[in-house]
Structure 1
Amino acid sequence: MIPLAGCAPATPQAPVPVAAPSPVATPAAPPPAAIPTPSAPVTGPVALCGRGTVQRTADGRLFHHFPYPDTAASTLIDAPPALGASCKVHPAMLPDLTRLLAAADAYPVVAGTVRAVSCHRSVALQQLTFCGGIGPDGSGSFAERSWASAPPGFSEHSTGYVIDFGSATAPACDADACFGATPTGRWLRANAARFGFEMSFPAGNKQQVKWEPWHWRWVGTTASEAGTVPARTMFAKARARFPAEPKVD
C-alpha cells in the first residue's frame, strides 16, 4: 500500500521546560520585644536627709518601701485637665485614665469630682516631702516618717504610674483616710480596677505602710494591654508579696 503524501505522522515535539517559580521570601518575624526584668535588690546603706545612713533589708526595701526609679521628665505628659491639677503622668496610663474619668462623669453622684492631688513626684521632690516631715530639730524618726511617706528613691510616685486622687467636693480629705468614705473614694474602690488601677496600700496591709485609699497605681487592665509590661515588671515584687486591694489580675 502506497502511503499518501502529506499524511506522514508528525514527529512529537519535546515539551518546553517551564522554569519553576522563584520561591517567595517569607519576611522574617520581628524579634520579640524585650521584657524588662527586675534587677537584683541593692542592699547597701542609704543616706537620708543629711542626717546619716540607714541600712536596707535583704530584699532592698527601706522602712518597708521598695526602691523605684525616677522616670525622666521628658517621658511624662500632662495629666488630663479634668483632674484639676498641673501634674505629670506616664503616657501609657492615659487611655485607661481617660476612660476612668469618663465613667465617673457618667455617674451623677461623682460626676466632675475626681481630682488629682499628686501624680509623678521626682526623687528630688520626694526628698523635700520626706525630710520636711522629720522636723528641723530632728524630732521624729525616719521609721515614724516612713509610715506615712516613702523615703526618696522608694516612692511609687517617681515611676509616673501613680495618682493620689482627691474629691472636688471634699478637699479637706485630700491625702487623708476620710477620702475613702467620700462618694469619690467609694466609687474608685468599686470601679478603678476596671480601668487598670489598684490600691497599693489597703487597710491592714502586711507591708506595714499607712492605709492610703487615695493612692492608686496603674498596671493596666490585662498583661497584654499596650504599655503594661514595664509597669507590671516595676511593681512585680510589691504585687506578689503585698497584693493590692482592690487589685487588678
Structure 2
Amino acid sequence: MRQSFLSSRSLRFMLIAVLSAGFIVFVGLGLESKMASSDPATQVVQPPQPQFSVPPQRQSPPIAVTLPREKSVPSVPTVPPPPAIILSQPNPAPVTVKTAYGHLPYAENDAIRLEVVGQYVRDGYARDERLDIEAAQAFRQMAKAAKASGVLLMPLSGFREVSVQAELFARQIERKGSKEEAAKWSAPPGHSEHHTGYAIDIADQQSPESDLKISFEATRAYQWLAANAVQYGFELSFPPNNWQGVSYEPWHWRYVRSTRALQVFAAAKRPQ
C-alpha cells in the first residue's frame, strides 16, 4: 500500500515538473519573439516602391488672329408712323378703254361655248344663228314667253367672227364714204359686241320690212322686249343718245345676267 502511495506521489511530481517546464518554454519563446520584433536587425524592410513622374505637357503658345474691325453704322432714329387717315371710298372709277369711233374692243368668244339658238328665215333664205350657251338658253326662254303672248321673236344676227365684221365694215365705208360715218352704223372689226356671243340682233318674224331699221321700234316684238326683256337678262345696247355715240339700234340687245357676261360688258356701262 505504501508502495502505491509513493507511485501516485511520484506521478504528481512528474506532472508538475512537466507543466513547469512547458510554462518556462512558452514564456521563453514569447520573450524571444518580442525581442526579435524590437530588434532592427531582425525586421523585414520592404524595398521602396518606385515612383514615376509624368512630365508636364507642353502647351502650344496661343496664335494671335487679327480680326477686321467692324464698320460703325450710324444709328437710325426711329420715326413713328403717321396716323392712319380714313377716307370715305367713292364709287370706283369707270374702266378706261380706248374706243374706235365710239366702239369698245371685244374678243371673240370660244367656239366651243357657242350653240345654235335659231334660224333667220326670209324669202326662202335660212341661216343658223349662234350665241354663247348662257345667252342662248335665256333667249330661247324669252322667245317662248313672247310666243305665248302672240309675238314671234326671230334671231337676225348672233355671234360674228372678226373676219366677217371686217367685210361688213368695209361695205359700210363704201356706202358712207369714211370710217367715221361707217362706224355710226357698223362697228370696226374687233369692236363689235357680236364677237362676244352675248349680243343679238332681233327681228319680228311678222314684220320683215323692219329688219335692222329704226321702224323696228314700232313692232310688237320691240314693244314686248321693252317691257319684258330685262326679266330674261337682256338690255338694249344702244338706246337713243347713248354715251358711246353709236346710232340708236332698237333691234340690238345684249345678255348681261351671268357673271361672265357682266365681265365682258363691264366697260360698256355708262360712266358716272
Question: What's the TM-score once normalised by structure 1's chain length?
Answer: 0.65
Segments of 4+ in structure 1 off by > 6 A? none
Residue 136 (structure 2) pairs with residue 103 (structure 1): no
Give the letter aligned to residue 164 of structure 2.
L
Task: Give the equivalent residue in structure 2 for 1:79.
Answer: 117
1:147 to 158, 179, 184: 184
Task: Give the equivalent residue in structure 1 for 2:243.
Answer: 206
**Unmatched tracts of structure 1, length 5 or more:** 1-40, 42-57, 221-227, 243-249
Task: Give the equivalent residue in structure 1 for 2:102.
Answer: 64
2:153 to 74, 91, 114: 114
The whole-number CA distance in structure 1 between the counterparts of 2:145 and 2:267 is 30
The whole-number CA distance in structure 1 between the counterparts of 2:120 and 2:238 is 25
Task: Give the equivalent residue in structure 2 for 1:124.
Answer: 163
**Unmatched tracts of structure 2, length 5 or more:** 1-94
Give 1 or 2 for the bigger CA radius of gyration: 2
Contact 1:79/1:85 (<8 A) preserved = no
Task: Give the equivalent residue in structure 2 for 1:190.
Answer: 227
The whole-number CA distance in structure 2 between the counterparts of 1:81 and 1:140 is 32
Larger helix proportion, structure 1 or 2? Answer: 2
Q: Residue deviations 1:60-86, cap 9 Å, x none?
A: 111001000011323211113598740
> Alignment identity in percent?
35
Equivalent residue of 2:102, what SS? coil
The whole-number CA distance in structure 2 between the counterparts of 1:97 and 1:127 is 26
The whole-number CA distance in structure 1 between the counterparts of 2:236 and 2:208 is 20
Give the letter aligned to residue 208 of structure 2.
P
Question: What's the TM-score once normalised by structure 2's chain length?
Answer: 0.60
Contact 1:121/1:158 (<8 A) preserved = yes
Residue 247 (structure 2) pairs with residue 230 (structure 1): no
The whole-number CA distance in structure 2 between the counterparts of 1:156 and 1:145 is 16
Aligned residues: 174
CA RMSD of aligned residues (A): 2.0
